[in-house]
Amino acid sequence: MAIIKPLNYCLVFLLQFFSLFLADDKNCVFVAGHARLECPPPLSGATGNKVGPCDTSVDDGSVPAYPLQANAFNTITWLESIPHPGAPSRFALSGEGGDVTGLSFETCLLLDHVPHDAHSRPSFRNAASWHRSSITLWIPDIYCERCHLQLISVMSDTPHGVPADTRCVYRGAAEAGTAQTGGVSESADPHPICPAVYHSCSPVSINGSVPRNDIDRCNTTAFEEKLGWPLTPSATQTHHASADIYQHSVYFNRGDVGLYSETNATLVEIGSPISDANCTNALYCDPEISFDAIFTVPENSAYASLEGSCAYITGMQVEAYQPGGILPSVPKEGSTMFLDSSTTDADFENSTTFDEEEENKDDSASVATILASTSFNVIATTSIAIAIAIMCLSTY
């Protein structure tokens, strides 16, 4: 009996060790979350980077800059690997160049408070099940050869540190002074920093006339007006006590809820914030019970239209991430690839040429790196576990 008790301690330690390893998305590629850009292609396939402002700390240039059209509407698609009800998305544009570590995103906010699709129920281990959403952005008269489109997905629920009927502010905006906050402390007043935010960035080129780095601050209000966007800082919310829950970079507990088309992933309805009375599940809230519609997206709304060279992606099957900027290419079963009437032949040719050129590149080095990293993590963890087990047995 004297041997069994300390041996149990060793076994408990081993179980804790493995649970920590599996919970750390930096150490293991099999357990992570939660959202990433799809088109334009992102810097990596990671969906769980909380550090930001991008999914990688370095842009090594391996993903070509994807062309967006200036002075035009451009559809963007993104994928969710683990659902989070009411979690808002925000899109911003960096300065020119490969720096993905600064605060330049905070000077060019393209669209905020993009609702989370209440239909989302992906299975993380099945990349083909990851949930696609789309939104159309207005890209202004900007010129850049390689800037970065940023997606952030904010976990705005109680399990992620945002209690019911409270708000949080995105850290980048707080540090840049572009959002109302008492500072950058996690306990700042009036709004604390959002504890859990996921980041994804795509390198893009834009063919406008005004160099991105000559623009001190983008006119987000003008972009919202171009789109006819309903969720602005001045929007009133008659279905909820808070009439100003759409402040830029400030997020109300599960305050951004939507329903998207199951056919082409476009936004069709917007709902009021999810209440604890209707749902407390951190992964899924049945819209039949928890969705309270406050706004139906009008037909021909710019933000729900399909525009530009990423629009056709909504007609493709969801595929696992491929390095080098390769986009999904297999049409959904029972559907055909389509183009919006505003998409030119040149747009489509550029997009498909972009894919074909990248498919012809030798990606063996990237694949080898991923496999080597994964193998090293598994071998290292197994070795440590065996060593601990031997120590336990030899000691007791």
**pLDDT 10s digits, 179-204:** 865 555 555 557 899 999 999 999 99
Question: Which whole number is the average pLDDT over 68-81?
Answer: 99
pLDDT of residue 386: 56
Of 202-211, 215-224, 235-244, 273-282, least confident by mean pLDDT is 235-244
pLDDT band at 12 (very low <50, low <70, confident <90, very high): very low
| pLDDT for the residue 236 | 62
DSSP 169-205: E-HHHHHHT-S--S-SSTT-SSSPBPS-EEEEEEEEE
- The chain-wide mean pLDDT, for the chain, equals 80
Mean pLDDT of the 380-384 span: 47
Contact 251, 88 (CB under 8 A): yes
pTM value > 0.75 = yes
Same structural domain, 291 and 366: no
Same domain, 170 and 265: yes
Q: How far, rounded to the nearest angstrom, does the alpha carbon of residue 41 sit from its chain's CA centroid?
A: 12
Does 328 share its domain with 377?
no
**Segments forming the whole domain that contains residue 297:** 34-361
Co-location of 182 and 255 in the same domain? yes
pLDDT at 316 over 90: yes
23 plus 61 within the same structural domain = no
Same-domain pairing of 75 and 212: yes
pLDDT at 25 over 50: no
Label residues 332-350 b or e (16+ Cβ within 10 Å = b): eeeeeeebbeebeeebeee
Q: What pLDDT, on the 0 to 100 scale, is given for residue 333?
A: 84
95 plus 223 within the same structural domain: yes
What domain count does the chain have? 2
Burial class (CB in 10 A: 0-12, 13-18, 19+), 191: buried
Based on the domain organization, do 7 and 54 belong to the same domain? no
The reply to whether 116 and 23 lie within a common domain is: no
| pLDDT tens by residue, 97-108 | 977 888 999 999
What pLDDT score was predicted for residue 320? 97
Dihedral sign for Cα 141, 95, 301, 221, please.
Answer: negative
DSSP 45: S
Do 19 and 75 share a domain, yes or no?
Answer: no
Range 292-295, long-range pairs (CB < 8 A, 24+ positions): 292/239, 293/259, 293/269, 294/237, 294/238, 294/239, 294/270, 295/230, 295/269, 295/270
| Per-residue model confidence (pLDDT) at position 66 | 99
pLDDT in tens, 129-151: 999 999 999 999 999 999 999 99
Residues in the chain: 396
Q: What pLDDT score does 217 carry?
A: 96
Percent of the chain surpassing pLDDT 70: 71
C-beta of residue 257 within 8 angstroms of C-beta of residue 291: yes
Least Cα distance to 135 among 115, 164, 161 occurs for 115
Q: How confident is the model at residue 335 (pLDDT cuts 50, 70, 90)?
A: low
* Statement to judge: residues 269 and 386 lie in one domain: no
